[in-house]
């Protein structure tokens, strides 16, 4: 799955979390529905995929989205089926469908090795190493105080291990490093030691280091966003 699709899933979930009903309309073949179900598994989300005829599935999906805005619901369909259903419509249902359309390209099962190793969704070309990183970055971009300030997997000019040190989400202007820790960060003592060595390195480069749990980000990124907003505000106050 392309990073654009990952970002769109994350953006739709952010919208839901803020109480706006959203139906994700997956346009593609069987791979589109499979991608959605994998997204739900990775995020530990209790969502739904409706795969009936659009005349039945779309009204049902909207009903569910209105009843529970934070619960992910998607409808899978082929492009021609969507085109036939959408032709000539101008009602609220059509507007909600237009807002939720996500074209899911068939990536032929090619995975980005870094993403696969981190338990993320498949991608042919990706920068983020996990779905949680994508989701948190989307949450930053949707927040006025953070939009445009953080980059995914920013590289530093110092080495850490075999290559340049990388930060999951890096604000060069504010000198803030946000690290998203998945389960593999707690797998053994060496992983713990490595993270502490990295923290020390980042601190020597003048970076404020914040670590958040991937599980928490996937459940609800708002506490992490609030913490980073606080850190950015403190950095700005220190520059005055």
Return d(Cα 61, Cα 75) in angstroms, integer: 7
Local structure of residue 227 (DSSP, 8 states): H
Does one domain contain both 25 and 96? yes
The per-residue pLDDT for 111 is: 37
**pTM for the structure as a whole:** 0.54
Q: Is 38 contained in some domain?
A: yes
The per-residue pLDDT for 117 is: 33
Q: DSSP labels for 116-127? A: HHTT----SS-S
Which three-class secondary structure state does DSSP give residue 166?
Answer: strand
| Torsions phi, psi for 77 (to 5 deg) | -155, 165
The per-residue pLDDT for 156 is: 92
Does one domain contain both 93 and 146? no
Return d(Cα 25, Cα 32) in angstroms, integer: 10
The per-residue pLDDT for 116 is: 34
Does one domain contain both 59 and 152? no
Note down the domain range covering 167.
131-239
The per-residue pLDDT for 169 is: 94
Return d(Cα 27, Cα 203) in angstroms, integer: 45
Local structure of residue 114 (DSSP, 8 states): H
Q: Is 163 contained in some domain?
A: yes
CATH number for 25: 3.40.50
Does one domain contain both 19 and 86? yes
The per-residue pLDDT for 106 is: 75
Does one domain contain both 80 and 174? no
Return d(Cα 80, Cα 84) in angstroms, integer: 6
The per-residue pLDDT for 176 is: 97
Mean pLDDT for each 10-residue chunk of the chain (240 residues)?
Answer: 77 78 85 87 86 90 89 89 85 81 68 35 45 84 92 90 89 95 71 90 95 85 94 88
Residues 6+ apart with CB under 8 A from 111: 122, 123, 124
Does one domain contain both 135 and 231? yes
The per-residue pLDDT for 186 is: 64
Does one domain contain both 95 and 170? no
Q: Is 166 contained in some domain?
A: yes
Rounded to 5°, the CA angle 225-138-159 comes to 80
Nearest to 46 by CA among 218, 224, 221: 218
Does one domain contain both 64 and 154? no
Alpha helix positions (H), the chain: 3-17, 30-43, 54-67, 79-86, 92-100, 113-117, 131-141, 189-204, 214-219, 222-239
Q: How many domains does the chain have?
A: 2
The per-residue pLDDT for 10 is: 82
């Amino acid at each position: 799955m392309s990073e654009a699709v990952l970002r769109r899933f994350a953006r739709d979930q952010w919208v839901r979390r803020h109480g706006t009903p959203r139906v994700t309309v997956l346009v593609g073949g069987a791979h589109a529905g499979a991608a959605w179900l994998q997204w739900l598994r990775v995020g530990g989300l209790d969502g739904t995929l409706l795969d009936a005829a659009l005349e039945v599935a779309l009204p049902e999906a909207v009903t569910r989205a209105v009843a529970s805005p934070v619960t992910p619901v998607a409808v899978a369909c082929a492009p021609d089926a969507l085109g036939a259903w959408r032709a000539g419509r101008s009602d609220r249902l059509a507007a909600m469908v237009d807002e939720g359309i996500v074209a899911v390209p068939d990536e032929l099962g090619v995975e980005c090795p870094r993403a696969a190793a981190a338990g993320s969704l498949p991608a042919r070309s990706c920068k983020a190493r996990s779905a949680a990183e994508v989701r948190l970055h989307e949450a930053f971009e949707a927040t006025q105080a953070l939009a445009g300030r953080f980059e995914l997997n920013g590289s530093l000019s110092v080495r850490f291990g075999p290559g340049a040190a990388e930060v999951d989400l890096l604000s060069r202007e504010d000198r803030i490093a946000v690290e998203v820790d998945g389960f593999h960060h707690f797998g053994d003592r060496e992983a713990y030691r490595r993270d502490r060595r990295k923290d020390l390195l980042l601190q020597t480069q003048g970076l404020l280091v914040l670590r958040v749990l991937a599980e928490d980000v996937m459940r609800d990124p708002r506490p992490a966003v609030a913490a980073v907003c606080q850190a950015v505000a403190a950095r700005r106050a220190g520059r005055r």
